[in-house]
Every structure is written in C-alpha cells, then in structure tokens.
Amino acid sequence: MKGIAGEFQARKADGRKIAALTAYDYPTARLVDEAGADLILVGDSLGMVVLGYPDTTQVTLADMIRHTGAVTRGAKNALIVTDLPIDTYDTPDQAVASARQLIEAGARAVKLEGGAAVAPQIRALVAAGIPVLAHIGMLPQHIREEGGYKIKGRTAEEAEAIRRDAVAVQEAGAFAVVMEIIIPGLTAEITPSLQIPTIGIGSGEGCDGQILVLHDLVGLYPWFKPKFAKQRAETAAAITTAVREYVADVHGDTGMTPP
C-alpha cells in the first residue's frame, strides 16, 4: 500500500505517535509546521476561534477554501487536511465535488464527520483519489442536535455504535480516524483492533495520536477552555499586556514616546 494510507498504517505498526494541531492562517501554519507537527487540520473550528460564530454550523465551503490556501502557503512539511463543512457532503457525489475544491486549494486530504452513515461518501472520495480522515464520537457539526459537547460511549448501546463506526470508516478506506470526546477505556479498546491509526481529542491517551485546536494549546481563546486540553502558553494574556502598553504609550500615560 502506498501514499498517505500506507504511511499512516506504517506509523501505527511502528508505534510512532501522530502529533496533530489545527491552523487557519499563514503565520500559525508556518509556526506549527516548523515546530514539527505531523498533521495540520484546517478545521471548521475556525468558525468559533477565528470567525466568532457560536459553533461550526455556519462555516461555508468558501471559508474552508480561503483558509486552506493560507495554511498551504505557510506549511511545507506537515500533512494538510481540511474539514468538509456541514451540508457539503450529503451525498457521495457532493462530497467528491466539494473535496476537489479543497484539494485544488492545497489540501492533501479531507476530513468529514460520521461513521457508518458516511461510509458511502468515504468510499466515493477514496475512489476519486482523495484521502480521507474520518471523525467519530462527538460530532461538532451536530452540536445543536446534541445540545452541547457530551462524552460518548458511556452506555453499552453507544459504545457498540462507536465500535461499528470505527470498523465502517476503516473498511470504507479512511487512512485514520479522529475520535472525539469518547470515554478513554473505549478508545483504548478500539485502537489496537484497527489497522488504521486513531487520533484522539479528549479521548484519553490510548489512541495512536492526539489533535488539539491550536488556540486551546496556546491560550489564544480564553473565553472557552476545554477541560481536556492542557494549555501550554498564555498567548491571550501576552497580547492583552502588549496592547495595553502600546495604548498607554500612544495616549501618553507613561511618558514614553509613541512608536
């Protein structure tokens, strides 16, 4: 097996963990890439952390195309994957048409949400030569139906559905699967049962890799902090301090000469 699918299965077989982060623009993509991330996701999470929407459901394909182009110009080494936003992959044909636009913008693969329900779309994308990163568990594009972010896999019925979804996306041809906010015991059980890597977000350490929204990692979005995300910097605080000092200088409150 060659290409992205073969590379990721080899990583899993060798026990090499996958470090993934989101990026939405040129400077952050370049920084993340130069710092050594294996995979950069141009996530529709940009709806909240960049565009100021309450969730991902207002993000459009045009938004994803523009931000994919910016990220592609910044990152030269990491695998760039772009989210297919809501209502752009309702059918296999629509999924392929939408994905082709993202590939033209610079993405090397696409991500879509859902398990067995979107297996036909995954098959169509793979048949068209477009690598697919699957996404099961908590599905942000369905947050309004769910009534918020909820841990998945707590009941026997829910756990069995997640197991079926994991197998379904693998059989459909996905090269890896994101597992979002699933109870850690379940992800630790599923991960060794699959040939493709699992990439966790809020799902424990039993996955083959981890992904985080960059803003959560560096403290750039202080208005919402996921409990599972370890914040490793205080970027928002640093920006606020710098701007306050600049404003004070310009206003003449410090006696310093404005730049």
Q: How far is CA 29 from CA 41, 42, 68, 214, in A?
A: 10, 9, 10, 10
pLDDT above 80 for 257 = no
Tell me which long-range contacts 187-190 makes (C-beta under 8 A, separation of at least 24): 190/162, 190/163, 190/166
pLDDT above 70 for 147 = yes
Of 242, 246, 218, the closest CA to residue 230 belongs to 218
- The pair of structure tokens assigned to 200 is 């966790």
pLDDT above 90 for 91 = yes
Of 47-61, 116-130, 136-150, 193-207, the poorest mean pLDDT is in 136-150
Beta strand 176-180 with 79-83 is unpaired
Q: Give the active site residues.
A: 180
* 121 contacts 130 by C-beta, under 8 angstroms: no
Position of tokens 């059989």? 171
What is the DSSP secondary-structure string of 147-168? TS---B--SHHHHHHHHHHHHH
- The pair of structure tokens assigned to 41 is 């996701």
pTM: 0.94
* 21 contacts 41 by C-beta, under 8 angstroms: yes
The better pLDDT of the pair 252, 97 is held by 97
Of 168, 140, 144, the closest CA to residue 152 belongs to 140
End-to-end CA gap in the chain: 58
- The pair of structure tokens assigned to 172 is 């459909």
Confidence at residue 256, expressed as pLDDT on a 0 to 100 scale: 57
SS3 content of the chain, % helix, strand, coil (to 5): 45, 15, 40
As beta bridge partners, residue 39 has 20, 79
Position of tokens 């459901």? 57
Rounded to a whole number of angstroms, the CA Rg of the chain reads 19
pLDDT above 80 for 133 = yes
d(CA 72, CA 41) in angstroms, rounded, equals 11
Give every CB contact of residue 11 below 8 A, 6+ residues apart in sequence: 18, 197, 208
d(CA 179, CA 136) in angstroms, rounded, equals 5
> 55-84: per-residue pLDDT in tens?
999 999 999 999 999 999 999 999 999 999
* 215 contacts 32 by C-beta, under 8 angstroms: no
Give every CB contact of residue 168 below 8 A, 6+ residues apart in sequence: 115, 116, 119
